[in-house]
Amino acid sequence: MDKTTLDGLLSLNELRLTEEETESVLGAFDFMAGKEKIMDGIDTENVEVMVHVMPMNNVLREDVREQPFTRESLLEGAPEHTEDSWQVPRLVK
């Protein structure tokens, strides 16, 4: 992992790091590079991936309109909101 690739990941994930934190994260990547190699010792030729450890079903419901929460209750938890909407800075100039 190099600094440029890490900068790309930071941008993708909407994050920033201090210089000291950058060193720490680069260290973690180096550490994991060694640990990933351990998996090479396992023969996975012709092995199917296992995404779910147990069978999984889609959860479907009747196509009936429901309103479990009121608009007010959903807005209440927002850091900033108007009377009927979440509030964010202007997106279009």
Partner 1 sequence: MKEYITKTGSGNIAVDDTLLTKGIETTAGSKILSGFVPLFSADAVERAEKAGYTVAGKTNVGEFGLDLVGEFSYYNDGDEILHGAAAELIAKGEIKGALEVDLNGAPRRAAALSGTDFIKPTYGTVSRYGVIPCACSGEQVGAAAADAQETKKLLTAIAGHDGKDGTSLPAESYDYACGKEIAGMKVGVITQLFDTASEETKAVIKNYAEKLKALGIAVEDVSVEEISAAQSAWQILMAAETCNNVSRYDGVKFGYRTPNYKNIDELYIGSRTEGMNLLTKATVLYGSDVLSKGRYFTCYDKALKVRRVVADKFKELFKAYDALLVPACGKTEYKKYDIGKAFETVYEESAYTAVPNLIGIPAMVTGGVQLMADHFGENILFKIAESAEGTDK
Q: Which residues bind partner 1 (CB under 8 A)?
A: 1, 5-6, 9-10, 12-17, 20-21, 23-25, 27-29, 31-32, 35-36, 38-39, 41-44, 47-59, 68-69, 73-74, 76-80, 86, 88-91
Q: Which is nearer to partner 1, 39 or 64 (CB)?
A: 39
3-state DSSP helix/strand/coil % of the chain, to nearest 5: 40, 0, 55
Q: Which residues pair with 81 in a beta bridge?
A: 86
Number of alpha helices (DSSP H) and beta strands (DSSP E) in the chain: 3, 0
CB of 46 to partner 1, least distance (A): 10
CB of 4 to partner 1, least distance (A): 13
Where are the alpha helices (H) located in 1-93, listed in sequence order? 3-12, 19-38, 71-76
CB of 52 to partner 1, least distance (A): 6
